[in-house]
């Protein structure tokens, strides 16, 4: 067993003592169909869940967060003290990288949009005072168990300091105005708006400032992908989210008896969506939708009224988002390939 897979107990005491429920094993709650995600804020009931080794029930009264590593002032803080620090609320889309991992015909759409409340990670790092040589913040979750043929006693991720110090990264204790539930990672989880869900460590117990990347199965073995830049293939962690979108109106299978159709949906990406184009003729011609500007990290609504083709029958509506850097959703072949909705229409 790799020595990094079993991590030593924390100095403030046996961390297992705060865990009062055992892991339940791999757990996935799928999201509803796109047409059921019409609300701007996704309710806890509708929001997907991805848990690798099993959720843990943490005793919030005994829980502490330890902040250590390359810092002048290592400390630990309990939940009451954390809640007394200035808090921030941020609305952000929330997407799992495994949605789907490989292109499939039935896209799982593991995505939603929620409001998180907590203390900016930057405030805690400021208090800890970074030492020279600090480059990353490692985050540990209290869950343990088996996943992918490995046995582990913590979930561990890392963030480069450039992101860790951004205002939007939160040590969060509320979602949609309510304390985080057990399944959401309560009492406290990391929230990294704009980046894939995998970076948002649940059941957070430790933040450690380090001079390099963490060597954990969740950082080096899984959640990496190859991307090509200037002819070179680079293996990169799944950090910022590429442009993606889904159509909420009309619903798959709807019947329309008018000569036009009102189309609406959500589009999102790590750095914000610039435009969404829609097609009803198999990507031959495109029409620009109206897209609401982004204020925080929320998903952005797009809307347009599209004329329907001359001949009644089946129509496929395709939505294609592009982000602020000009990156555009491919039509097929990638995990963020453009979504389409099929409707049937007859003459009014």
Ligand X SMILES: Nc1nc2c(c(=O)[nH]1)N[C@H]1C(S)=C(S)[C@@H](COP(=O)(O)O)O[C@H]1N2
DSSP of 201-234, one letter per residue? -SSEEEEEEESS---SIIIIISSEEEEEETTEEE
Which candidate, 345, 348, 346, 342, places its Cα nearest to that of 33? Answer: 342
Cβ atoms of 209 and 130 closer than 8 Å: yes
- 202 makes contact with ligand X (CB under 6 A): yes
- 143 makes contact with ligand X (CB under 6 A): yes
**77 versus 172: smaller Cβ distance to Mo ion:** 172
How many Å apart are CA 275 and CA 93, to the nearest integer?
17
* Residue least distant from Mo ion (Cβ): 96
**18 versus 276: smaller Cβ distance to ligand X:** 18
- 206 makes contact with ligand X (CB under 6 A): no
Which candidate, 296, 342, 297, 298, places its Cα nearest to that of 319? Answer: 342
- Count the Cβ atoms, other than its own, within 10 Å of residue 307: 10
CA of residue 105 relative to chain centroid, distance: 22
Answer for which of 19, 34, 49, 246 binds ligand X (CB under 6 A) is 49
- 155 makes contact with ligand X (CB under 6 A): yes
Burial class from Cβ neighbours inside 10 Å (0-12, 13-18, 19+) for residue 248 reads buried
Q: Give 136's Cβ-side CA count (13 Å radius).
A: 14
**47 versus 343: smaller Cβ distance to ligand X:** 47
- 203 makes contact with ligand X (CB under 6 A): yes
Quote the least distance from Cβ 150 to Mo ion, whole Å.
Answer: 17
Q: Which residues bind Mo ion (CB under 5 A)?
A: 50, 96-97, 197-198
How many Å apart are CA 90 and CA 287, to the nearest integer?
32
Q: Which residues are CB-neighbours of 124 under 8 A, at least 6 positions away?
A: 67, 77, 171, 207
- 64 makes contact with ligand X (CB under 6 A): no
CA of residue 150 relative to chain centroid, distance: 24
Tell me the site size for ligand X, rule CB under 6 A: 19
Q: Which does 176 bind (CB under 5 to 8 A by kind): Mo ion, ligand X, none?
A: none
- 34 makes contact with ligand X (CB under 6 A): no
Answer for which of 48, 266, 302, 345 binds ligand X (CB under 6 A) is 48
Stretch of 16-24, 123-131, 200-208, 301-309 lying at the interface with ligand X (CB under 6 A):
200-208
- 141 makes contact with ligand X (CB under 6 A): yes
- Count the Cβ atoms, other than its own, within 10 Å of residue 10: 19
Answer for which of 79, 128, 171, 200 binds ligand X (CB under 6 A) is 200
Quote the least distance from Cβ 312 to ligand X, whole Å.
Answer: 41
**172 versus 304: smaller Cβ distance to ligand X:** 172
Binding site for ligand X (CB under 6 A): 47-52, 94, 96, 141, 143, 155, 184-185, 197-198, 200-203
């Amino acid at each position: 067993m790799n020595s990094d897979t079993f991590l030593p107990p924390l100095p403030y005491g046996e961390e297992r003592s705060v865990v009062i429920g055992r892991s339940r094993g791999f757990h996935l709650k799928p999201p509803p169909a796109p047409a059921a995600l019409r609300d701007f804020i996704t309710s806890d009931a509708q929001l997907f869940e991805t848990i690798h080794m099993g959720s843990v029930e943490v005793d919030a009264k005994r829980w502490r967060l330890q902040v250590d590593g390359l810092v002048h002032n290592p400390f630990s803080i309990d939940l009451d003290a954390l809640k007394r620090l200035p808090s921030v609320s941020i609305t952000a889309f929330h997407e799992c990288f495994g949605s789907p991992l490989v292109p499939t015909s039935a896209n799982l759409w593991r995505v939603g949009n929620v409001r998180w409340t907590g203390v900016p990670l930057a405030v805690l790092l400021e208090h800890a005072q970074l030492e020279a040589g600090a480059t990353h913040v490692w985050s540990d979750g209290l869950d343990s168990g088996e996943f992918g043929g490995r046995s582990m006693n913590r979930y561990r991720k890392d963030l480069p300091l450039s992101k860790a110090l951004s205002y939007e990264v939160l040590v969060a204790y509320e979602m949609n105005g309510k304390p985080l539930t057990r399944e959401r990672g309560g009492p406290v989880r990391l929230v990294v708006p704009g980046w894939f869900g995998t970076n948002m460590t649940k059941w957070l117990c430790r933040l450690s400032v380090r001079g390099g990347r963490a060597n954990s199965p969740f950082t080096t073995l899984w959640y990496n992908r190859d991307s090509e830049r200037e002819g070179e293939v680079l293996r990169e962690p799944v950090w910022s989210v590429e442009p993606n979108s889904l159509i909420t109106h009309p619903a798959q299978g709807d019947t329309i008896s008018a000569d036009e159709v009102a189309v609406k949906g959500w589009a999102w990406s790590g750095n914000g969506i610039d435009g969404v184009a829609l097609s009803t003729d198999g990507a031959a011609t495109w029409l620009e939708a109206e897209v609401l500007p982004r204020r925080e990290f929320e998903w952005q609504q797009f809307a347009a009224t599209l004329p329907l083709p001359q001949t009644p029958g089946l129509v496929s509506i395709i939505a294609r988002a592009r982000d602020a850097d000009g990156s555009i959703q491919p039509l097929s072949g990638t995990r963020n390939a453009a979504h389409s909705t099929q409707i049937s229409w007859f003459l009014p």
